[in-house]
């Protein structure tokens, strides 16, 4: 696959350093996932040319658009990119149609032709009837569609989306996400989607790149990342318990003293992950003990989806904690309250182990 | 509403409005036709409107770019530059006129070489009236437009550049429309200030009927010889100012 975007870039701003290697093929959608302040917006701005890179090189469709060694820095208008901004930034003084026609118009297309193309794009995103409306009169979901149409109407080779769904309410969110997925599927160039929402990332992207503190901590297909998180942040995003330790046969010894029994053998530095729902809680030490049985204390209880999520402090060892997902009726039966001593059990076969 | 605030506020309103009411009430309306049709009044009004308009155009053409420069993020020395630009706002206009004279007068720093080369000197010409008006009116527009630029969301400019617009195009198609209300407000202020300009004009341009005697000068002279006529001319100037304010407001300020 030809890489439409090939970037190996560094940005240094004050004490913050971003280092990112990224290759996105034609037609591929990559999600850049990270917590606030991880540098994902900085990365997007650097790729767009709104920010100068301090080291490295960016190539879009085979053309070098930024190179710190030779001092090349193409301005955004010379990069053949399309950007959908988080709050869309639709020009308030132009109609919806003229917002979309703006790109073709400034690239030298005459006004009737630019408007014809814009109308075509509005029809493709399903809001042809809004052409004369001013942006302040359209809803959030409609504004998102206008922003997407405006970015795509310039026929970009690289499409950058900055939290494109974050400004939408829950109901519109999933609807617009489904549509966005379709449009990204039709788009021939490379797409980079910046988001902090793992579900948006999993639905929209072919590949995830997770960054924390300006560095890539994990990348891979969404299913891989969801199954085998490599940092606490990713584990929390995908809703798994994650522990790191050293494999010694059918057991992983944690640096904090505890251990986890495995169904398979593991050696060297490994991660172990298991679902909160795989954790069973008991008030009295259960008979016929499962492979992993840890004494702990309920640190917190909070509703989660259909059930209740319990944070168990002191398991597998004093300095660790894990999450357990239980039913509300179990909470009532066992009379679970914060502070209560419990036994947490996990079957060895429910534990995923992989090299760190 | 606390009386402590309402009472002084009412006093302030009265103080601003009463003189205007007095002006309208005391004007000898019976003589209006004769006074307003007099050649001196028409000449002065025409000169005032033309010079104020020309000044405002020059003020907008130079002041908007200046405001843009001032609003550049991280511009070194911006605060010093802004302070210099603000001086004409607080300077007594007569001092401004004297200052203009020292630079552009017939024997001024620039005026002397200009006169020696071309035989042209600014004082006592309508050009001097315009220069005096620009000197006092420019800061109003610059500060108004700079405020609009700072209040505007500059990320629209970034969005435009990602859509392929070159910087000049971004400025023309995005920045200018975004700050249009600020430019309009600044231009109205500048025009009104230029229309009313007295001190710098009489000092630098002199007081010649038809060439440098603008409405304010005409009114001042009339007050000594024919107070009734001065009142009527004042009401006329008041009417022109208010009309422009209303017209521009409807045309521009509520654009979106």
For A249, the 3-state DSSP assignment is strand
State the nearest Cα–Cα gap between A161 and chain B, in angstroms. Answer: 12
DSSP per residue, chain B: --HHHHHHHHHHHHHHHHHHHHHHHHS-GGGHHHHHHSHHHHHHHHHHHHHHHHHHHHHHHHHHHHHHHHTSTT-TTHHHHHHHHHHHHHS-HHHHHHHHHHHHSTTSTTHHHHHHHHS---TTSHHHHHHHHHHHHHHHHHHHHHHHHHHS-THHHHHHHHTT--HHHHIIIIIHHHHHHHHHHHHHHHHHHHHT--HHHHHHT---TTTT--HHHHHHHHHHH-HHHHHHHHHHHHHHHHHHHHHHIIIIIT--
Q: Is A292 exposed, middle or buried (0-12, 13-18, 19+ CB in 10 A)?
A: buried
Do B165 and A102 make contact, defined as CB atoms within 8 angstroms? yes
Residues 6+ positions from A173 with CB-CB distance below 8 Å: A165
> Is residue A12 scored above 90 in pLDDT?
yes
Residue A192: CB atoms within 10 Å: 27
- Set of chain A residues whose Cβ sits within 8 Å of the Cβ of B156: 89, 91-92
Split at pLDDT 50, 70, 90, the class of A209 is: very high
State the nearest Cα–Cα gap between A34 and chain B, in angstroms. Answer: 23
Please tell me the predicted confidence (pLDDT) of residue B216: 94
Do A102 and B160 make contact, defined as CB atoms within 8 angstroms? yes
Low-confidence ranges of chain B (pLDDT < 50): 255-256
Q: Which long-range contacts (CB under 8 A, 24 or more apart) does B249-254 make?
A: B249/B188, B251/B184, B252/B180, B252/B181, B252/B184, B253/B181, B253/B184, B253/B185
Q: What region does A200 belong to: left with phi over 0, alpha with psi -120 to 50, or beta?
A: alpha
- Set of chain A residues whose Cβ sits within 8 Å of the Cβ of B163: 77, 82, 102-103, 106, 150-151, 154
CA-based nearest residue in chain A for residue B168: A106
Q: Count of A–B CB contacts within 8 Å?
A: 65
Do B164 and A154 make contact, defined as CB atoms within 8 angstroms? yes
- Set of chain B residues whose Cβ sits within 8 Å of the Cβ of A89: 153, 155-156, 158-159
What backbone torsions phi and psi does residue B18 show, to the nearest 5 degrees?
-55, -45
Please tell me the predicted confidence (pLDDT) of residue B244: 79
Split at pLDDT 50, 70, 90, the class of A3 is: low
State the nearest Cα–Cα gap between B253 and chain A, in angstroms. Answer: 13
State the nearest Cα–Cα gap between B15 and chain A, in angstroms. Answer: 39
Shortest CA distance to A94 belongs to which of A130, A124, A126? A130
C-alpha pair distances (Å), B37 with each of B24, B26, B83, B218, B233: 18, 19, 44, 14, 11
Do A106 and B174 make contact, defined as CB atoms within 8 angstroms? no
| ipTM of the complex model | 0.84
Residues 6+ positions from B119 with CB-CB distance below 8 Å: none
- Set of chain B residues whose Cβ sits within 8 Å of the Cβ of A106: 160, 163-166, 169, 173
Cβ contact A118:A154 at 8 Å:
no
State the nearest Cα–Cα gap between A15 and chain B, in angstroms. Answer: 19
Question: How do strand A259-274 and strand A241-253 relate by DSSP bridges?
Answer: antiparallel
Task: Give start-end residues of each CATH 3.40.50.300 domain in chain A.
Answer: 3-235
Q: How many CA atoms lie within 13 A of B19 on its CB side?
A: 7
Do B163 and A77 make contact, defined as CB atoms within 8 angstroms? yes
For residue range A285-334, what is the model confidence (pLDDT) as tens digits? 888 767 899 999 999 999 988 889 999 999 898 889 999 999 999 999 98
For residue range A150-189, what is the model confidence (pLDDT) as tens digits? 999 999 999 999 999 988 888 889 899 999 999 999 999 9
Q: Answer with the residue of higher pLDDT: A44 or A172.
A: A44
By percentage, how much of chain A surpasses pLDDT 90?
Answer: 81
For residue range A20-40, what is the model confidence (pLDDT) as tens digits? 999 999 999 999 999 988 999
Of how many residues is chain A composed? Answer: 356
Task: Give Cα A65 distance to the centre of its chain.
Answer: 26
Residues 6+ positions from B251 with CB-CB distance below 8 Å: B184
**Is A107 at the interface with chain B, CB within 8 A?**
yes
Nearest to B156 among A91, A106, A150 (CB): A91
State the nearest Cα–Cα gap between B238 and chain A, in angstroms. Answer: 33
Nearest to B162 among A83, A92, A134 (CB): A83
Nearest to A77 among B165, B174, B177 (CB): B165
Task: Give start-end residues of each CATH 2.40.50.100 domain in chain A.
Answer: 239-355
> Is residue A135 scored above 80 in pLDDT?
yes
Average model confidence (pLDDT) for chain A? 92
Q: Is B79 exposed, middle or buried (0-12, 13-18, 19+ CB in 10 A)?
A: exposed
Q: Is A125 exposed, middle or buried (0-12, 13-18, 19+ CB in 10 A)?
A: buried
Residue A317: CB atoms within 10 Å: 16
Please tell me the predicted confidence (pLDDT) of residue B252: 55
Shortest CA distance to A202 belongs to which of A213, A214, A212, A193? A193
Of how many residues is chain B composed? Answer: 256
Please tell me the predicted confidence (pLDDT) of residue A287: 81
Cβ contact A211:A33 at 8 Å:
yes
Dihedral of alpha carbons B81, B86, B92, B96, sign: positive
Q: Could you tell me the domains of chain B?
A: 48-253 (1.10.3720.10)
Check: CATH 3.40.50.300 for A3-235? yes
What is the rounded distance in angstroms from the CA atom of residue B119 to the CA atom of residue B142?
A: 33
CA-based nearest residue in chain B for residue A103: B163
Please tell me the predicted confidence (pLDDT) of residue A2: 63
For residue range A277-288, what is the model confidence (pLDDT) as tens digits? 999 999 998 887
Please tell me the predicted confidence (pLDDT) of residue A306: 84
CATH code that applies to domain A239-355: 2.40.50.100
Nearest to B163 among A49, A136, A154 (CB): A154
CB neighbour burial string for B19-56, b if at least 16 within 10 angstroms, e if fewer: eeeeeeeebeeeeeeebeebebbebbbebbbebbbbbb
């Amino acid at each position: 696959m030809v890489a439409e975007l090939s970037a190996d870039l560094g940005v240094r701003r004050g004490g913050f350093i971003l280092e990112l290697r990224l290759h996105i093929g034609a037609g591929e959608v990559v999600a850049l996932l990270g917590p606030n302040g991880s540098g994902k917006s900085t990365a997007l701005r650097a790729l767009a040319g709104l920010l100068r890179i301090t080291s490295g090189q960016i190539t879009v469709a085979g053309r070098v658009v930024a190179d710190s060694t030779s001092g090349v820095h193409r301005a955004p208008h010379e990069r053949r990119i399309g950007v959908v901004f988080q709050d869309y930034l639709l020009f308030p003084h132009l109609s919806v149609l003229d917002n979309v026609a703006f790109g073709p118009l400034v690239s030298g297309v005459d006004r009737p032709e630019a408007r014809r193309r814009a109308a075509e794009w509005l029809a493709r995103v399903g809001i042809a009837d809004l052409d004369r409306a001013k942006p302040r009169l359209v809803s959030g979901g409609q504004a998102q569609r206008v922003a997407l149409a405006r970015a795509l109407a310039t026929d970009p080779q690289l499409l950058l989306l900055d939290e494109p769904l974050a400004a939408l309410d829950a109901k519109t969110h999933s609807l617009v996400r489904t549509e966005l997925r379709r449009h990204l599927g039709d788009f021939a160039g490379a797409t980079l989607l910046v988001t902090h929402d793992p579900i948006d990332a999993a639905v929209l992207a072919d590949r995830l790149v997770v960054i924390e503190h300006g560095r890539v901590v994990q990348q891979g297909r969404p299913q891989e990342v969801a199954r085998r998180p490599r940092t606490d942040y990713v584990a929390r995003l995908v809703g798994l318990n994650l522990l790191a330790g050293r494999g010694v046969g059918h057991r992983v010894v944690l640096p904090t003293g505890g251990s986890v029994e495995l169904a398979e053998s593991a050696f060297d530095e490994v991660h172990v992950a298991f679902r909160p729902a795989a954790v069973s809680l008991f008030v009295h030490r259960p008979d016929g003990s499962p492979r992993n049985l840890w004494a702990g204390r309920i640190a917190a209880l909070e509703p989660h989806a259909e059930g209740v999520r319990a944070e168990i402090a002191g398991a597998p060892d004093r300095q660790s904690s894990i999450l357990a997902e239980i039913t509300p009726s179990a909470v009532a039966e066992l009379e679970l309250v914060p502070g209560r001593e419990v036994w947490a059990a996990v079957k060895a076969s429910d534990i995923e182990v992989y090299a760190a | 509403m606390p009386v402590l605030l309402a009472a002084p506020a009412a006093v302030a309103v009265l103080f601003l409005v009463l003189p205007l009411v007095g002006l309208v009430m005391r004007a000898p309306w019976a003589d209006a036709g004769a006074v307003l049709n007099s050649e001196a009044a028409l000449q002065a009004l025409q000169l005032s409107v033309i010079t104020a308009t020309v000044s405002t155009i020059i003020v907008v053409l130079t002041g908007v770019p200046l405001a843009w420069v001032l609003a550049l993020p991280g511009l070194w020395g911006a605060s010093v530059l802004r302070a210099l630009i603000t001086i004409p706002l607080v300077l007594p206009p007569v001092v401004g006129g004297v200052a203009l004279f020292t630079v552009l007068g017939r024997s001024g720093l620039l005026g002397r070489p200009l006169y020696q080369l071309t035989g042209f000197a600014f004082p006592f010409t309508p050009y001097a009236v315009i220069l005096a008006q620009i000197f006092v009116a420019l800061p109003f527009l610059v500060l108004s437009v700079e405020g609009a630029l700072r209040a505007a969301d500059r990320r629209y400019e970034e969005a435009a550049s990602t859509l392929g617009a070159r910087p000049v195009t971004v400025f023309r198609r995005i920045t200018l429309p975004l700050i249009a209300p600020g430019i309009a407000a600044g231009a109205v202020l500048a025009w009104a200030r230029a229309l009313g300009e007295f001190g710098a004009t009489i000092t630098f341009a002199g007081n010649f009927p038809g060439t440098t005697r603008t409405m304010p000068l005409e009114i001042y002279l009339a007050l000594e010889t024919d107070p009734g006529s001065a009142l009527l001319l004042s009401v006329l100037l008041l009417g022109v100012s208010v009309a422009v304010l209303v017209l521009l407001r409807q045309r521009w300020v509520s654009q979106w």
